[in-house]
Structure formats: structure tokens, C-alpha cells
């Protein structure tokens, strides 16, 4: 009974908060990785995604639990086909079976709009994997055509920024010469199917490798003098935009200037090893907070000022089982217990538009008492009581103002 009151109060404040802090619905996406053993159940993830104003989610697989949990929520999904499955997708029947099982089965309730075939395949320097990429993309697309789904579900693949030979200045952006031969047919595929070119861009990596030469303010979207591209004369006040436009230049150099570019991953770690310069909670807060403000302002890059940014922030959760340096396990906006890893420093007044939704940046949803996830921390009666008390204190002045306004009107 007590927990029911707790959930009611929590859901009420999340609903009402949209009236107090309207947030613009932009092109904000979030990467939902699950390399962890302590994450909340997908049902409990739904309100967390909505709390940051995200309208799109990118998976690295096609987890049926997640796709079922987000049914009828209106959230758009990119599902992923892992690198390990690429060779199998050269068989058209296997590709058809995969699409039926992992995509068609969840439509239209779950809004799957895209499939990524592999991740950063071209920079693995694995020839056999590279050889499987385009055939897998083509066969998955053919399967969608056969099922009448190709107009609503696109096929693409995500690349590392390391596919670029030159990234500075942005106007000189170009692809690695050894990759042009395999990238060009993929670009042709994008043109034919009208699918976007995805790039994973991390200013953090650039700063970590050269902190003495690169301004921290420049990579964190903080006030700075920026740089001017001497060829284009465009001014850049942050590195991410410079990286994105370097990709635009690389595409243009091969004759594909009209291709859409989406940022499939970008983020900043809140913790790192001693040699991971810049990996800190404060920098993560600045990078992601300023990034979200930029997205909400619908600012385009200098080369594409009138094109909305399509960005997927990495990542929703800290993932405790990811291999590699400490930073790899600390990119999350949320901890596994559903609490914010840090405040993004954004209020709804920073991102108000005529097009609004009832979500609020930073709102948190409580775990379900019957959650089967071992990751959720138990919430004591005392914590529940304090939570409801705080909500009541927030609601009372709002209700009082509404009551007075009503009385004055009549």
C-alpha cells in the first residue's frame, strides 16, 4: 500500500513537471548499452529515457525485452545486428528470418525505424569482416523490401571517426585512402535507399591524446575564441561541430555531399584511469549538458546551419562489465540504480518551444517493487516517505497557484 502511494506520487510529479518545465522535442537520441550485470529491467528504463527528453533509442542488438517494454511509447528505435552475425547475413534466407524475428514481430507497436549492420567494422582492420559488411546490409534491406517494410525501416552501419585520413581543418576532411574502395559502394547503398551515414564522434579522445595543444573549453562547448577554417572561413566554437563538418567534407570529396550525417555516438566519461586526461564528473556534466542545450536550440554546424543535428548520446547507463580502461565503464547519464550519474544542469526553461512534451530533464523514476533485476537497490520505507514528502512540498505551491488563478478568473 505504501509503495503504491510512492509510485502514485512519483508518476504525478513527472506528469505535472511537464507543465512547469516544457522541453522541446528535438532529435535527441540515447544509446542503450547493456554490457552489465546490474541494470534495471527495461520496464523501468522507459521513464528514465523520457526524463531526459530523448525520443530515440539506439540498441546494439534487438533485445526482445526492451522492444516489448517500449511498445506504444512512441519512442523510435535503432536495432543492431552485431559484427559476429555479418557472415551469416550473406545468406538471404537467414537475413529474411532475422528481420521477421527481430523487427517485423514488434511492428507497429514498437517504432523501429532503422537497423545498424555491425559497428565500426571498417576500422577493425579485419578484411573478412569488411567483406561481409555491404552484402549483409544489402540482404537485410532486401528482406525489408520483401516484407514491405523498407519505407519505414532503413539500413545503415556506424563508423568510427578513424575512417578519416584528415579531419582538420574541417574543409579538408577526407577518408583514409585504403578505405575509399570499400566506403564508396556503401555510400552508393545509402543514396539508393535514402539511409543516413552514421559516425561515432568523441572529442574526448582527441583531447585525451593531446591535452596541451587542444583547448578543454573548445571540446566542452564552453565559451572560447574557437578556430577559423582558413579555406571555408567558417568559425567553429566546439570540436564536435568541426568533426561533423570534416565528415561532410569527406563525403563531398567523393561526390556524396547530399548524404545525411547522423552522430550515432558521442559522450564524455565521468571517471577514468590516471592517464585518461579529462575524464571527470565535472567535464562529463559540462560536455553532455552543453551538448543537450545545443541540440535543443536546433543549431546546425557551420557547413549545415539549417540541418537539425541527429545525435545519439553515449550512454544511458554506466556499464560495469565493459572491458578496457575505466572510462569505458563510466559514460552513463544514469547509474544502474536509476539515479543520475550527475546533474546535466538543464532546466526546462533552457529549451522551450511551441512543440513541447511532458518530460523534464533530470527527472528520475523509481524502481518497481517486483523488479527481477538484481541491479535495483531496495528502497526503504524511510526513503519512500522522504520522497513523497519532497514531492508534496513541490506540488503544494503549484496547486495553490492554480487555485488562486482559478478564483481570480471567476
User: Mind telling me the catalytic residues?
Assistant: 120, 265
Contact criterion met (CB below 8 Å) for 98 and 144: no
Residues 6+ apart with CB under 8 A from 163: 122, 123, 175, 176, 179, 183
Q: Write out the H or E segment, with its range, that includes residue 197.
A: strand 197-200
d(CA 141, CA 126) in angstroms, rounded, equals 23
Dihedral sign for Cα atoms in the order 167, 168, 171, 176:
negative
List the beta strands (DSSP E) in 317-360: 356-357
How would DSSP label each residue in 219-265? HTT-S---EE-TTT--EESSHHHHHHHHHHHHHHHTT-TTS-EEEEE
Q: Give Cα 331 distance to the centre of its chain.
A: 12
DSSP single-letter state for residue 159: E
Task: For 393, list phi and psi in degrees, rounded to 5.
Answer: -65, -35
130 within 8 A of 121, measured Cβ to Cβ: yes
Contact 3, 303 (CB under 8 A): no
Q: Residue 253 contacts by C-beta under 8 Å, 6 or more apart in sequence?
A: 173, 174, 175
Tell me whether strands 28-31 and 311-313 are parallel, antiparallel or unpaired.
parallel
How many other CB atoms are found less than 10 A from the CB of residue 192? 10
Pair 25, 357: CB distance under 8 Å: yes
Give the 3-state secondary structure of residue 105: helix
Is residue 219 a contact partner of residue 239, using CB atoms and an 8 Å limit? yes
Amino acid at each position: 500500500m505504501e509503495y503504491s502511494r510512492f509510485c502514485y506520487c512519483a508518476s504525478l510529479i513527472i506528469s505535472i513537471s511537464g507543465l512547469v518545465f516544457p522541453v522541446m522535442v528535438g532529435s535527441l537520441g540515447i544509446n542503450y548499452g547493456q554490457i552489465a550485470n546490474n541494470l534495471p529491467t527495461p520496464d523501468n528504463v522507459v521513464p528514465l529515457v523520457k526524463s531526459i527528453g530523448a525520443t530515440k533509442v539506439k540498441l546494439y542488438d534487438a533485445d526482445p525485452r526492451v522492444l516489448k517494454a517500449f511498445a506504444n511509447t512512441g519512442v523510435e528505435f535503432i536495432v543492431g545486428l552485431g559484427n559476429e552475425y555479418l557472415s551469416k547475413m550473406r545468406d538471404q534466407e537467414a537475413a529474411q528470418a532475422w528481420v521477421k524475428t527481430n523487427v517485423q514481430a514488434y511492428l507497429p507497436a514498437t517504432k523501429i525505424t532503422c537497423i545498424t549492420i555491425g559497428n565500426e567494422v571498417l576500422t577493425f582492420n579485419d578484411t573478412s569482416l569488411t567483406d561481409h559488411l555491404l552484402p549483409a546490409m544489402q540482404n537485410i534491406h532486401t528482406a525489408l523490401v520483401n516484407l514491405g517494410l523498407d519505407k519505414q525501416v532503413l539500413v545503415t552501419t556506424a563508423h568510427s571517426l578513424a575512417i578519416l585520413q584528415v579531419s582538420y581543418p574541417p574543409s579538408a576532411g577526407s577518408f583514409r585512402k585504403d578505405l575509399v574502395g570499400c566506403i564508396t559502394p556503401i555510400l552508393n547503398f545509402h543514396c539508393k535507399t535514402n539511409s543516413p551515414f552514421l559516425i561515432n564522434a568523441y572529442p574526448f579522445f582527441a583531447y585525451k591524446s593531446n591535452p596541451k595543444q587542444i583547448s578543454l573549453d573548445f571540446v566542452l562547448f564552453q565559451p572560447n575564441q574557437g578556430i577559423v577554417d582558413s579555406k571555408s572561413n567558417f568559425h567553429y566554437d566546439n570540436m564536435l561541430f568541426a568533426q561533423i563538418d570534416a565528415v561532410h567534407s569527406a563525403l563531398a570529396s567523393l561526390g556524396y555531399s547530399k548524404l545525411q550525417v547522423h552522430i550515432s555516438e558521442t559522450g564524455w566519461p565521468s571517471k577514468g584511469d590516471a592517464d585518461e586526461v579529462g575524464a571527470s564528473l565535472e567535464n562529463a556534466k559540462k560536455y553532455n549538458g552543453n551538448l543537450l542545450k545545443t541540440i535543443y536550440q536546433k543549431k546546425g554546424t557551420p557547413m549545415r546551419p539549417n540541418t537539425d543535428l541527429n545525435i545519439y548520446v553515449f550512454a544511458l547507463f554506466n556499464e560495469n562489465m565493459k572491458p578496457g580502461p575505466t572510462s569505458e565503464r563510466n559514460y552513463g547519464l544514469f547509474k544502474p540504480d536509476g539515479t543520475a550519474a550527475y546533474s546535466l544542469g538543464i532546466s526546462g526553461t533552457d529549451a522551450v518551444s511551441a512543440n513541447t512534451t511532458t518530460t523534464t530533464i533530470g527527472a528520475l523514476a523509481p524502481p518497481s517493487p517486483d523488479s527481477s533485476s538484481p541491479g535495483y537497490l531496495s528502497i526503504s520505507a524511510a526513503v519512500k516517505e522522504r520522497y513523497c514528502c519532497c514531492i508534496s512540498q513541490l506540488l503544494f505551491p503549484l496547486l495553490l497557484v492554480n487555485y488562486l488563478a482559478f478564483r481570480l478568473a471567476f
